[in-house]
Structure 1
Amino acid sequence: MSPAPTEAAASPLLAGLNEQQLEAVTYGDGPLLILAGAGSGKTRVLTHRVAWLIRERGVRPDEILAITFTNKAAGEMKARIETLVGHVARTMWISTFHSMCARLLRREAERLGYRPNYTIHDADDSRRLIKRCLEELDFDVKRFPPESIARVISDAKNRLQDPADYRSEVEGFFAQTVADVYELYQKKLGQMNAMDFDDLLANAVFLLERFPQRLAHYQRSFRHILIDEYQDTNHAQYRLAHLLAGERGSIAVVGDDDQSIYSWRGADIRNILEFERDYPEARIIRLEQNYRSTQAVLDVANAVVKHNRRRKGKNLWTGRGAGSTVAIVEVPDEHGEAQFVASEVQRLLSGEAGPRAFSPDDIAVLYRTNAQSRVLEEQFGRYAISYQVIGGQRFYERAEVKDGLAYLNVIANPDDEQRLLRIINAPRRGIGATTVERLLTHAATVGESLWSVLQAADQIPGVAAGTAGRLQAFVALIRSFQA
C-alpha cells in the first residue's frame, strides 16, 4: 500500500517528482510495471524508489536487487543512490544480469560441477573455441563460419536449451552440425572450468530450478527486485527474474514496449506485454511527461508509434513548448544523405540557419552503424568541417588488454585452455603453431589438460629440448604469479 500524498510529499527524496513519478516511487509491495516513455525520467524514478525503500520503508540495502543492461548504467545508478542514501548503498546488488549471475555462481558453482575459480569467456574466446571444435570435427570453417555457429548456440542457450534439447528440436544438416559443435563446445568449456556469457544466465536458472532450497534462500534474500529495460529481456533473463520474484512478486520492472529493438539477439517483447498475465495483481503506471524533447518531436513520434500492432499504449507530452517543426528529407542514397548533413552543419556553423552561429561542439551527428561514418567523414572533409568520431575500438577489445586479462585468467584457472593458448606465445617466446599442435595432440592422447602436459614438456615426443625449456620457463612464470 502506498502512502498518502501529504505523507509522501514530506520526504525530501520526493521533491520535484511529477504525479506519476511519485506514484511509482512510493508504490508499496507487490508487482509493478512502469511504462516509461523516452525522456520521462525513468532513471530518476528507479533511483528514488530504491532510496525510498531504504530510507522510508526500512528495507536493508542488501535486500534489494537492481538490474540494468549495461555496466555503465549500473555504475551510474549506484552513484546516484549513494548520493541519496550514503555509503549504505554499497551493499546493494546493483548490476547487469550477467554480473549478478556471475556473483551468484561464484557461491554456488560446485553444485553444477564447476570450481569457484571458473573463468568467463567473451565472444571472441567463444568464436575461437568453436573454430577449434569445427576443425576437430572435420567441418569446413568456410562452409560453417564460427560466427554463425556461435549465434545459433547463443540463441539456444538464451532459450535454456542444452545440446540435447537443441538436437531434439532441429532438423537438417546445418542444424545437426551445430548440435555436434554445441555438444563438443560445452564439453571443452567444462574441461576448462569455464563458462561463456550465455552460460552465466542459463546456469543461474538451472541452479535455481534444480536446488529448491537455494531458490528459497535467494527469494528470501531479495525483498525487492527492480529491472530496467524490461522490454529487452530474453527468455533466460525473464525466467531468472520470475524465479527470484516468486509468488510474493515484489518485482518492479521499467520498460517501454515502443522501444524494443533487440529481438535479433533474443529479446522477447512478450515479457513486458504479458506482465499482467504473470502477475495478475500488478499495478501499471505510465510515465508520459517527456523532459527531453519539444512537443513537435513528440507529436511525430506518437503518430509513428501508434501504428505498432503490439503495444500497451501511451501518449508522450511535454511542457517545453512546441519547438521547431520536424523536417522529413528524402535523398537518393547514402552519398546524398551525407551531402545534405554536411551542408546543414555548414549552415549552422555559419549562422545561416538561425539567429546565431553554432560551434562544432554544439552539433552531434548520429548514425546506426559504424560503416555509415565513412561517407559522412568524406563530406565533412570537402566542406572543411572539423569533427571528432566518438567510439572506435572498445578498451576491452584491444589485443593487449585481452592478453593481459588472459594472463590473469590463467593464473586463477590454469585449466582454461583457450586463454592458455592465447598467451603461450604472447609476447613471442619462440613457441610456434607446430609445437602447440603437438601439445594439444599429446594432451588428447594421454587424457590430460594442456596445463598438465606443459609441466612435463621435456617428456613430450617431438618437442625439441630448446622449445621444452621455453615452455618450462612459461610455466615457471605463471607459477611465480600464483605464489
Structure 2
Amino acid sequence: MLHCDVATLQHFSIAACDCFCYISPFCLCVCVCLRAPQLIGAPIFFIKMFFCYNIDTMDSPILKDLNKEQIEAVKTTEGPVLILAGAGSGKTKALTHRIAYLIQEKKIHPQNILAVTFTNKAAGEMKLRIDKLLGAIRSQKGTHEQIFQLPWMGTFHSVCSKILRKEIQNLGYRRSFVIYNEDESLIAIKHAMDDLNIDKKESNPKTIKNFISGAKNELLSPKKYQPYARGYFGEIVSKVYEQYQKDLKTANALDFDDLIMLTVELFERHLEILSRWQNLFRYILIDEYQDTNFAQYKLVKLLAQKHKNICVVGDDFQAIYGFRGANFRNILDFEKDYPKAKVIKMEQNYRSTKSIITAAQKVIEKNVLRSEKELWTQNEDGLPSTVFEARNEIDEVDFVRTEIEALKNFHKLNDFVILYRTNAQSRILEEIFMQNNIPYRLIGALRFYERKEIKDILSYLKLILNAEDRVSLKRIINVPPRGIGIKSQNANLKSQNENPKIIKFQEMMNHLRSEYQCY
C-alpha cells in the first residue's frame, strides 16, 4: 500500500489521460478515466496503485493486544519521546512493537534504527521478538518476504565497538585493536605501576583501576583528570592513568571504558564522521535510560542532536547502578534537554499483586527526587509483604529454609528464587541447603569468558594478532608449563635475553602468526 501525495497524483493523472481524481477524507483515491479509450486499463491501474489509507486511522496488527499507553508509545515516532515505564508495565513489548511499527508501517529502513539495551542478552531477545512479530504480520498478509536486516541493537559498548572498528584509525589506532576484559585491565595497570616504581602494597591496583574507570565515565582523559588529582593518592592515580593509557595505545588495546570515551572523542574531533553516523541513526531508542552515566548520556546527545528522533525508556524508581557511575537524573532532566519532548507514562503493572504494588509505592514515595507516577494493577490482592529482621546470618538463612520447606508442598522448588547482595553471601546458603538436602542451582557464579581455559586461548589469539600485547604475553608465556619462571619472565619481557625456552616460545608464536596470515 502507498501513501498518496495528492498534488503529484492529480498532476500525473491529468498529464496521462485526463483522469478525474477524487480524494476522500480517508485518503481513498478513486480515478475515473474521462477520455483516451486506448487507456481503458488506466482506471484499474490507478485504483490499484493509488488505493491507500491513512495508517493512523486504521488498526495495524502491530497495535494488537497493546493498552492505550503502549499504543501511544508505539505510534509517537517523531521527535523526542520519554517513556516512564514502571516495573512490569510491558516496556519491552512496547519497545519491540515500536521498532516493528517503524519498519512495517513507517517504512523506515532497519539500518536507520539504533536500539541500545542494557545487556547483550536483552538485545538478542528483542531481535527475536521483532523478527517473530514482523514474520507473523507478513504471513497474515500472504507475503513470505524475509527480513535480512534488523536494526542496530546492542549495549553501548557493543555499538561503540562496531563504530570504532570502522573509524578508530582517525584517532591513531589500528582497526585490529583488542579489547581488554576486567582482569586484563588490572594486569595492565599493575604493569604501569611497575614501570613507575609504585609499590602495589601501598597503593591498591584495584582501587586505582576504579578511579581510572570513574574518570573515563566522566570523559576525563589523563590530562583533563590532573586538576582533580588531589592529595598523594590522587597524584598516584594520575600518574598511573597516564602510563596505563600509553601502554594501551602501544599494545593497540582498549578497555571497556575506552570504547565509549573514544567514540565520543571521535565524534567531537571529527564532525564529518559524526554527521555520517547521525544520518545513519535517524531513529534512536535507549532502554534503561535511568542507568546511563555521563559518557553514555553525552554519546546519545551527540547522535540525536541532528534529527532528534530519540525515544528513551526507563524508570527512576528502578535506578540501582549509581555505584557504577550511573546518574538517574539523566531521565529526570530529559525534558530540559528536549523541551518539546512527549512524555508517556506506563503505570499499569501486569506482573505483581496489589499488595506488592502498594508496598513498593509507599517506599518510593519517600524519595525526594523522583518522577510523578503511580503504579496500579488489575491483579488480585495477594498475600501481604513480610519483613523479617534476623539476629545474624544463621538466623536469616534458617528463616529462608523454613519458608521454602513450608511452601514446597504447594510449589515446585524451581518456583523459588533467593536474591543476595554479594556473591560471598551464597556460601552460608549453600551450606545450609546441603545439610538439609535441598537441591539448588547457583546462577551467574562463573561466566563462560571468565573461565581460565577460555581466557588462556583468547590470550593466545590476541597475541597472534598483536605481538605488542604484553598482558596476553605474560598470561600464556608459561601456559602450558614450559619451565619459564616469574623471574625469567620479568627479565626476558624487558630485554632481548637469549633464554632458549623463551626463544622457542617466540618461534612458536611467529609460526602461528605466519599461519594466520595465510588466511
Q: Same fold (TM over 0.5)?
A: yes
Aligned to 1:148: 207
Aligned to 1:449: none
Select which of 347, 359, 362 maps to 1:288.
Answer: 347
Query: Taking structure 1 as reference, are residues 19 and 477 closer, same or farther at Cα in structure 2, changes over 3 Å only?
Result: same
Query: Taking structure 1 as reference, are residues 317 and 181 closer, same or farther at Cα in structure 2, changes over 3 Å only?
Result: same
Aligned partners of 2:122, 2:499: CA distance in 1, in Å? 52
The CA deviation at 1:345 is 0.8
Instruction: Establish whether residue 111 from structure 1 lines up as the match of residue 170 from structure 2.
Output: yes
Does the aligned pair in 2 maintain the 1:74–1:94 contact within 8 Å? yes
Q: Which letter does structure 2 place at the counterpart of 1:312?
A: S
Does the aligned pair in 2 maintain the 1:13–1:51 contact within 8 Å? yes
Query: Taking structure 1 as reference, are residues 15 and 9 closer, same or farther at Cα in structure 2, changes over 3 Å only?
Result: farther
The CA deviation at 1:435 is 3.1
The CA deviation at 1:6 is 8.8
Query: Taking structure 1 as reference, are residues 440 and 257 closer, same or farther at Cα in structure 2, changes over 3 Å only?
Result: same
Aligned partners of 2:169, 2:335: CA distance in 1, in Å? 36
Per-residue CA deviations over 1:55-110 (Å, capped at 9, x if unaligned) read 01110000000000111111111111111224536342101100100100111111
The CA deviation at 1:433 is 2.5
Select which of 40, 51, 69 maps to 1:20.
Answer: 69
Aligned partners of 1:215, 1:8: CA distance in 2, in Å? 37
Instruction: Establish whether residue 479 from structure 1 lines up as the match of residue 514 from structure 2.
Output: yes
Task: Look at both structures and tell me which one has the larger radius of gyration over its CA atoms.
Answer: 2
Aligned to 1:175: 234
Query: Taking structure 1 as reference, are residues 429 and 61 closer, same or farther at Cα in structure 2, changes over 3 Å only?
Result: same
Aligned to 2:417: 364
Aligned to 1:54: 103
1:425-444 superposed matches below 5 A? 425-442=478-495
Query: Taking structure 1 as reference, are residues 389 and 188 closer, same or farther at Cα in structure 2, changes over 3 Å only?
Result: same
Aligned to 2:332: 273
Does the aligned pair in 2 maintain the 1:430–1:467 contact within 8 Å? no
Instruction: Establish whether residue 383 from structure 1 lines up as the match of residue 436 from structure 2.
Output: yes
SS at match of 2:488: helix
Query: Taking structure 1 as reference, are residues 470 and 95 closer, same or farther at Cα in structure 2, changes over 3 Å only?
Result: closer
Query: Taking structure 1 as reference, are residues 482 and 247 closer, same or farther at Cα in structure 2, changes over 3 Å only?
Result: closer
1:91-102 superposed matches below 5 A? 91-102=150-161
SS at match of 1:292: coil
SS at match of 2:147: helix
1:317-328 superposed matches below 5 A? 317-328=376-387
Instruction: Establish whether residue 246 from structure 1 lines up as the match of residue 305 from structure 2.
Output: yes
Does the aligned pair in 1 maintain the 2:103–2:109 contact within 8 Å? yes
The CA deviation at 1:466 is 5.1
Select which of 69, 78, 84 maps to 1:29.
Answer: 78
Query: Taking structure 1 as reference, are residues 9 and 416 closer, same or farther at Cα in structure 2, changes over 3 Å only?
Result: farther
SS at match of 2:200: coil
Aligned partners of 1:343, 1:42: CA distance in 2, in Å? 36
Select which of 314, 319, 325 maps to 2:373.
Answer: 314
Q: What are structure 1's unaligned runs of at least 5 residues?
A: 352-356, 443-459
Aligned partners of 2:509, 2:264: CA distance in 1, in Å? 38
Moved more, 220-229 or 320-329: 320-329
Aligned to 1:83: 132
Does the aligned pair in 2 maintain the 1:102–1:200 contact within 8 Å? yes
Does the aligned pair in 2 maintain the 1:82–1:90 contact within 8 Å? no
Q: Give TM-score scaled by structure 2 length.
A: 0.85
Does the aligned pair in 2 maintain the 1:68–1:96 contact within 8 Å? yes
Aligned to 2:249: 190
Q: Which letter does structure 1 place at the counterpart of 2:75?
A: T
SS at match of 2:311: strand
Q: Which letter does structure 1 place at the counterpart of 2:358?
A: D
The CA deviation at 1:120 is 0.6
SS at match of 1:90: coil
Aligned partners of 1:49, 1:359: CA distance in 2, in Å? 36
The CA deviation at 1:162 is 0.5
Aligned partners of 1:158, 1:243: CA distance in 2, in Å? 16
Aligned to 2:87: 38
Aligned partners of 1:83, 1:287: CA distance in 2, in Å? 24
Moved more, 320-329 or 122-131: 320-329
Q: Which letter does structure 2 place at the counterpart of 1:182?
A: Y
Per-residue CA deviations over 1:15-42 (Å, capped at 9, x if unaligned) read 1000101100110310000011111111
Does the aligned pair in 2 maintain the 1:121–1:195 contact within 8 Å? yes
Does the aligned pair in 2 maintain the 1:74–1:96 contact within 8 Å? yes
Q: Which letter does structure 1 place at the counterpart of 2:213?
A: S
Aligned to 1:329: 388
Aligned partners of 2:150, 2:67: CA distance in 1, in Å? 29
Aligned partners of 1:323, 1:5: CA distance in 2, in Å? 45
Moved more, 133-142 or 357-366: 357-366
Does the aligned pair in 2 maintain the 1:81–1:89 contact within 8 Å? no
SS at match of 2:343: strand
Q: Which letter does structure 1 place at the counterpart of 2:113?
A: I
Q: Give TM-score scaled by structure 1 length.
A: 0.91
> What is the RMSD computed on CA atoms of the aligned residues?
1.9
Q: Which letter does structure 1 place at the counterpart of 2:517?
A: Q
Does the aligned pair in 2 maintain the 1:346–1:383 contact within 8 Å? no
Aligned to 1:300: 359
Count of residue correspondences? 457
Q: Which letter does structure 1 place at the counterpart of 2:158?
A: S
Aligned partners of 1:9, 1:162: CA distance in 2, in Å? 53
Does the aligned pair in 2 maintain the 1:411–1:479 contact within 8 Å? no
Moved more, 289-298 or 78-87: 78-87
Does the aligned pair in 2 maintain the 1:218–1:244 contact within 8 Å? yes
Aligned to 1:211: 270
The CA deviation at 1:5 is 11
Q: Which letter does structure 2 place at the counterpart of 1:383?
A: N
Q: Which letter does structure 1 place at the counterpart of 2:448?
A: F
Aligned to 1:455: none
Aligned partners of 1:268, 1:21: CA distance in 2, in Å? 26
Query: Taking structure 1 as reference, are residues 13 and 89 closer, same or farther at Cα in structure 2, changes over 3 Å only?
Result: farther
Aligned partners of 2:95, 2:171: CA distance in 1, in Å? 34
Does the aligned pair in 2 maintain the 1:118–1:194 contact within 8 Å? yes
SS at match of 1:88: coil
Q: What are structure 2's unaligned runs of at least 5 residues?
A: 1-25, 27-52, 136-145
The CA deviation at 1:359 is 2.9
Query: Taking structure 1 as reference, are residues 409 and 335 closer, same or farther at Cα in structure 2, changes over 3 Å only?
Result: same
Does the aligned pair in 1 maintain the 2:63–2:97 contact within 8 Å? yes
